[in-house]
Amino acid sequence: MSPEFLAISMFVFLMASIALGHPLAITLAGVATIFGLIDNGGNVPALLDLFVNNSWGLFQNYTLVAVPLFIFMAQVLDRSKVSEALFDALYIVLGGLRGGLGMAVIVVSTVFAATTGIVGASVVAMGLMAGPALLRRGYDKSLSAGIICSSGTLGILIPPSIMLVVYGGLTGMKETSVGNLFAGAILPGLLLSGMYLLYVGVRCFINPTLGPPIPAEERTYSTRQKVSMTLTSFVPPFGLILTVMGTILAGVATPTEAAALGCAGAVVLAIAGRKFNRDVIVQASTATLRTTAMIMLLFIGGKLFSVVFLSMGGGDAVADMLLGMDVSSYVVLAIMMTVVFVMGMFIDWAAILLVVVPIFTPIAMDLGFNPLWFAMLICVNLQTSFLTPPFGYSLFYFKGVAPPEYTMGHVYKGILPFVAIQIAGLAIMIFCPETITWLPTVFFGG
């Protein structure tokens, strides 16, 4: 069989298996096994050698040790209620503005994203805190759902992001090291957060019924009290962000070492907030174990899939097809971004990275694209996968904890403008690469 036919068949078989509801990690490994045997004529020992050698290399990747450490840090922070104090302060400070409470949710989610790196923790926390509060204040349900779901997805992009750690571990390139990816993701994350704020502010200014301000009689705090509350709630998480990111960007610690430092900082914040006890440790450790096991199982399945796909010539077939097109390199880029976007509607981000990075990165290099810039475009694109139906995880995270007044209709309607904003942000990064490359150049000189 030709490599082109096998490549197409492999993807079709994968998508059909996922549509039937089979577990993703097992599906990736199963499809890899079937097509690996087809490609090598049923030589089981040779296929097992290929699988073992590549899996062993994956487990020897020191960078991936940061994954359970960042997850544990996120779990401890989630249970120490750091975000609740900041939300309560910004509720008072911004509540008097049209759409102010919605903007407070975005600010808190941005800060929380920089301390957790996990979308589920951000969306669930804000859904529990802000969902009922926005409802009580008369905010439009669709707008409220869109604000919480979209701002919660910033956790997968703003460092320290698990996705960036995974990407850096996959490529093994200096240009896309975890440190460079962290530095390159800061401005894109802040850009998207700023665009969300602008959208909510403008829309609520035009139509105040969408996000009415808090009544004047409830705004009894003095300016001094507001400043004190904001600083008290903002300084602890911001200090942790500086500790983790500062050590990485200053070259003092590796991402893995910084993650361990972040774990210690999260425990200190929990102790300071009198939220540290045996239950917190047990629950955080159990959640970390489950999440890490899920991610590593996906890693293995995705690695086996990509190894078989590349070994049978699928990567070369895709490259020849894209590079052989008589079109601009940016048209090829648009095709690759579209493929990632569509896959994001159906497949988990980790599996997408494991499948497309080994295939698309060499193509991007052949087209002369900056590897860091291309990597960040992939990651920003994958952020939309948490919002796009039918399998947008953020939508179901929110619906699972939100009051019953929020229907799935409200959720789907609410996320559409924010998906458009994310696509617009991606376009800005494509046509203004400095939004990605400037900070890595400042910190690392390249």
User: What pLDDT does residue 196 have?
Assistant: 95
d(CA 110, CA 3): 44
User: What pLDDT does residue 109 have?
Assistant: 85
User: What pLDDT does residue 200 have?
Assistant: 93
d(CA 425, CA 440): 19
Q: Which amino acid is at 171?
A: T
CA angle 373, 334, 304 (to 5 degrees): 75
Spans in the chain with pLDDT lower than 70: 1, 82-83, 116-121, 216-221, 390-391, 446
3-state DSSP helix/strand/coil % of the chain, to nearest 5: 80, 0, 20
User: What pLDDT does residue 184 have?
Assistant: 92
User: What pLDDT does residue 1 have?
Assistant: 65
CB contact at 8 A, 107 and 213: no
Contacts of 108 (CB under 8 A, 6+ apart): 83, 86, 87, 90, 126, 130
User: What pLDDT does residue 48 have?
Assistant: 84
3-state SS assignment for residue 324: coil
User: What pLDDT does residue 398 have?
Assistant: 84
DSSP 213: P
Whole-prediction pTM value?
Answer: 0.81
User: What pLDDT does residue 370 have?
Assistant: 93
Q: Tokens standing for 132?
A: 């009922």
Which candidate, 130, 277, 283, 300, places its Cα nearest to that of 211? 130
Kindly provide the b/e burial profile for residues 374-411, where b requires at least 16 CB atoms within 10 angstroms of the residue's own CB: bbbbbbbbbbbbbbbeeebbbbebbbebbeeebeeebb
Neighbouring CB atoms inside 10 A of 156's CB total 28
Q: Tokens standing for 441?
A: 């150049």
